[in-house]
Amino acid sequence: MVPKSLKLEDQLDLFEKRGMILTDKKKNLEKLKHISYYRLKDFAAPYGHITMYGEVPVLKYCDITFDDVVNRYYRDKNLRINLFHAIEKIEVSLKRNISYLLGSKYGAYGYLDFSNWCDKKHSRYEIEKKQFFFKRDLLKSVTRSKIHDLKNNKNFNEDEFPSIWIATEVMMFGTLVNLVEIMSKSNQRKLADFYNCTNKELVSWLKCLNLVRNVCAHNSNIIDIQLKTRPILRAEWIDRYLYTVKDKAGNEIVTNRIAAIILITISLVKEINKRYRWKSIRSNLASICLVPDKVLSDKNANLLGFADSHDALDLKSFAIGKY
């Protein structure tokens, strides 16, 4: 069936019919003029459930107002902005450290020959394929970039590829992560040393942050994110900060929600700037979690992946390594 175009009033009525509480319809309609129905529906999802009427699934909301949903949207927006700022710091650092590592070992243009620095477990064909697409995309990035030093011919080789120190500056975060993933283990370990983690942790964490960065950049819902692939999480984080449940077999399942992402981000950023201020993200989490009822506050924290509301807000202790 082809969806029909609904007037704003009809969209609001649909929310109400599904159980959402409307406290001020005039004010609610103004919000719908600037925030789409489907975006708000996405943020209301944790409070909705499907009830079957015969063979017809019907969406119903429970204990949530339209204002609550709008507030969730804005709180998510603020968290996305602050998380993106922290991830950007990691990105800038990664560009510098990759260029330093590959440039000091293989020279200005040695990075263009993937066989120099790639993990030997990859077949020759696979390496050449990755190298081909990397070079193609790099030239496109160079064309689009406005970096001043790209105007200096001394920064290019005879094939018009930039030196490694310029190349990393025009690369997207995803490209940087791909380079780290295919590096030899020895190169990965040297890079991981900059961030006081293992090479396996670094690869796992960067792949996770690449996904999250894209979510932030495209204004998608970050509060309710559920990672399909769980990143490597340290045992002490799980014991103190993260929410866990047990499956039917009694095995402990660790959260795959935003809490894990925040701890990974803090762990990497603190090696770049130990004085980085986490006050903004803490305030974002407080606005999401804290309500007068402590039990409900802890439940809100659990939905984000934290063990409880106290641990969700104790980012300063985590940042200085107090587990």
Q: What is the pLDDT of residue 263?
A: 97
pLDDT surpassing 80 at residue 323: no
pLDDT surpassing 70 at residue 277: yes
Return the minimum-mean-pLDDT range out of 28-37, 54-63, 74-83.
54-63
The stretch 20-45 carries a mean pLDDT of 95
Mean residue pLDDT of the chain comes to 94
pLDDT tens digit string along 280-294? 999 999 999 998 999
Q: What is the pLDDT of residue 56?
A: 82
Among candidates 69, 90, 88, 91, which has minimal Cα distance to 80?
A: 88
Q: What is the pLDDT of residue 61?
A: 94
pLDDT tens digit string along 249-270? 888 899 999 999 999 999 999 9
Angle at 181 between CA 177 and CA 186, to 5 degrees: 120
pLDDT surpassing 70 at residue 298: yes
What is the rounded CA–CA span in Å between residue 309 and residue 313?
6
The stretch 173-190 carries a mean pLDDT of 98
pLDDT > 90 in the chain, percent: 84
pLDDT tens digit string along 103-152? 999 999 999 999 999 999 999 999 999 999 999 999 999 999 999 998 88
pTM for the predicted model, two decimal places = 0.93
**Largest CA-CA distance found in the chain, in angstroms, rounded:** 72
**Domain positions in the chain:** 8-64, 90-203, 233-319
